[in-house]
Structure 1
Amino acid sequence: MSAFHLLGVAGSSLGFHQTWLDALAHNIANVNTVRSTEEDAFQAQMLVARSRPGGGVEVAGIVTSDPDGRVVHQPDHPLADADGNVRLPEVDMPSQMSQLVMAQRGFQASVSVTKNAQDVYTSALQIGRQ
């Protein structure tokens, strides 16, 4: 596998992990988004990964969580219906935080591979100059 190919694979991984981090940040930021029971709940985003022909990874699609969310009794909330209920998203915070760690580690690994491939390419250029 050439250094250029490694850079392409690592670059696709960087892009995928950045998109994953963005989706997770969006989900975490909206974990407490309250809506009236007449509206859909905030829908968390989950990425679907797919391998690229020739190596690498890409986002195949984005799946969203259930728009029904969960109905919670909060009679003092300004958006509460006549029964005192509001709609919250169905976001599992521990799962989101675990995925956040995985996405961060994947991003860091991709950066490391990119750096190593650049070092190999630079070394090859140095050998060629001698």
Structure 2
Amino acid sequence: MGAFDTLRIAGSSLGMHQVWLDTLAHNIANVNTARSTDQTAFQAQMVIARSQEGGGVEVNGIALSDPTGRVVHDPTHELADADGYVRLPEVDLASQMSQLIMAQRGYQASVQVTKNAQETYSSALQIGRS
């Protein structure tokens, strides 16, 4: 492992966790997005990550949830059909919040690794100057 591999690996982790946080925020913001029954439901995004050759992680893609969603009876909603139904996404808010905590912790850990590596490299440079 080279001298700056730790920074490269932590940087890749920061990028992946940022994408994960962004998709979770998008999903949570749209958890109650209603559509008419003749439309598809909001599709939650799920990050697909994979390990990189030589260490690190990258976003390999974004998968979408089922467009069918769930049909809910809400006759007062402005998008309700003639029978009073609207289509809502199949997004579990509790699961999204749990994943949000995991993504935040992963991001924080990557930030700490980056800080520690920078301090270590800075200390090594100071030793070389003495």
Q: Which residue of 2 aligns with 1:127?
A: 127
Task: Verify: 1:77 aligned to 2:82, yes or no.
Answer: no
Q: Deviations over 1:57-107 (max 9, x none)?
A: 001111100001000000111100011100000000110000000000000
Report 1:104-123 matches (<5 A): 104-123=104-123
Q: Deviations over 1:15-56 (max 9, x none)?
A: 000000000000000000000001110000001110011110
- Are 1:45 and 1:64, in contact at CA under 8 Å, matched by a contact in 2? yes
- Partner Cα separation in structure 1 for residue 78 and residue 29 of structure 2: 21
TM-score using structure 2 length: 0.98
Structure 1's unaligned 5+ residue stretches are none
Output the aligned Cα RMSD. 0.7
Report 1:1-130 matches (<5 A): 1-130=1-130
- 1:2 is displaced (CA, Å) by 4.0
Q: What count of residue pairs does the alignment treat as equivalent?
A: 130
| Secondary structure in structure 2 of the residue aligned to 1:76 | coil
TM-score using structure 1 length: 0.98
- Partner Cα separation in structure 1 for residue 93 and residue 66 of structure 2: 15
